[in-house]
Amino acid sequence: MKTNTDYQSALELISQLTPINLPSTLQRLNLPSAKKYNINLYVKRDDLVSSQLPGNKLRKLLGYVPAIQALPKTTELLTMGGAYSSHIFAAANIANLLGRKINIIVRGQELNANSNSILKHAASKGAALTFVSRAEYAKLRKPEGLSGWLQSKSVNMFIVPEGGSSHYSLSSCAKIVGEIDIDFDYIALPVGTGGTLAGIVSGLSLPRQAVGYTVFKDSGGYTELKSNLTSWSNKANWSLQNEYHFGGFGARTVDLERFTQDIESEYNLSLNLDYTAKCLYGLNRDILLGRYNRGSTVVMVVTGGAPLTL
C-alpha cells in the first residue's frame, strides 16, 4: 500500500527534473446557468500543472514512480495508446526523466514515428514504438492479450496501462480532493479510462459526490469503465453521466465547438474537445436541468487542455 511519504518522495523527485505547479489553482466561472440556479461553479486548473506531464497524466503517473524506482535497472516499461494520446507524450517523458527505457504500442499499423509531433517527440525521448492494427490493439487491451505479447519478449517489462489508470494511480489522484481549499458539494470531471475519477472517489467523503462525464458512446466501453471503477473503489458516492459524448470519442458538433470557443474566450481557458469541453458542456446543461442542488458548490477538474501541439 502506497503511503503519503511515497507520494511526497515521488513529487519531490519529479519536481527536481521538471517544473511542477501543485496545488493547481481554482478559477470561478460565472456562467449564466450557475447564476440562475445560485450555483458556485469553479474549475480546478490541472491543465496548468506541468508542460511535460500535462493534466491528469502527472496525477496518474506520480503513483507509479515509487514502483518504477524499485525495479531492477534492466526492467523496461511498457504502455500503449492512440497516436495522438497525451498519455504517450507523458509516458515517454517520465520514462526519460527516470532514466528508463519504455516500449509503447501505438494503435495504427499504417503509422510510423514521423506520423505526427507526439510520436516524433516520444521517439526523441528514446521510446521504442511498435505500431499495430486496430484489431490487434483491441486484443492487446485485454490482459490476456498483453500477457501473450510479453511472452514473446526477451526482457522483463513493467506495465503502465493505457491511460495510466490502475491501483497505482488512485492515491496520487486522491490528492486532488485535499487541494481544494473551499467547501464544496460536487466534483465533476471528464472520464476516459476512469483512473482519475476512482482516485478522487477514494479521497472523497459523504455527502460530497463525484460525477464523471464519459466520452464513450459504445456500451462496451461504458460497461468496462463501470467495472473498473467498481473494482478500484468500494464507495458509492459517484455517478456517471453518459448523455454528452456527442456521438462518441472524437465526435463533436457545431454547438459544442461554439460553446467551447465562447468559454475559452471569456475565461481564458484551454479546453479539449474530446474531454474537458464535453464535460463542461454537460455540466452546464445539467445545472439548467436542475440536476445540481440550488445553492451548491461544484468544482470541475480540468484534466487537460487543448490537444498537444509540439
Q: Which of 132, 159, 186 is the C-terminal boundary of a domain?
A: 159
Which residues make Cβ contacts (< 8 Å) with residue 34, sequence separation at least 6? 40, 41, 287, 298
Is position 103 within any domain?
yes
Is position 95 within any domain?
yes
Q: Are residues 132 and 268 in the same domain?
A: no
Q: Considering the entire predicted model, what is its pTM?
A: 0.91
Which CATH number belongs to the domain containing residue 277 in this structure?
3.40.50.1100
Is position 206 within any domain?
yes
pLDDT at 83: 92
> SS3 for 120?
helix
For 307, which DSSP code? P
Q: Which of 94, 127, 159 is the C-terminal boundary of a domain?
A: 159
Q: Are residues 240 and 295 in the same domain?
A: yes
Is position 58 within any domain?
no
Is position 182 within any domain?
yes
Number of domains within the chain: 2
pLDDT at 5: 76
Is position 308 within any domain?
no
Phi-psi category of residue 225: left, alpha or beta, with phi > 0 → left and psi -120 to 50 → alpha:
alpha
Q: Are residues 235 and 273 in the same domain?
A: yes
Task: Give, for all 310 residues of the chain, the pLDDT tens digit.
Answer: 456 678 899 999 999 989 999 999 999 999 999 999 999 999 999 999 999 998 899 999 999 999 999 999 999 999 999 999 899 999 999 999 999 999 999 999 999 999 999 999 999 999 999 999 999 998 898 777 777 788 878 789 999 999 998 899 999 999 999 999 999 999 999 998 888 999 999 999 999 999 999 988 765 566 777 777 777 777 889 999 999 999 888 889 999 999 999 999 999 999 999 999 999 999 999 999 999 999 999 999 999 876 555 5
Is position 59 within any domain?
no
Q: Are residues 12 and 114 in the same domain?
A: no
Q: Are residues 174 and 289 in the same domain?
A: yes
Q: Which of 159, 177, 212 is the C-terminal boundary of a domain?
A: 159
Q: Are residues 190 and 251 in the same domain?
A: yes
Closest by CA to 43, choosing from 276, 292, 262, is 276
Domain with 25 in it: 4-53+167-301
Q: Are residues 209 and 93 in the same domain?
A: no
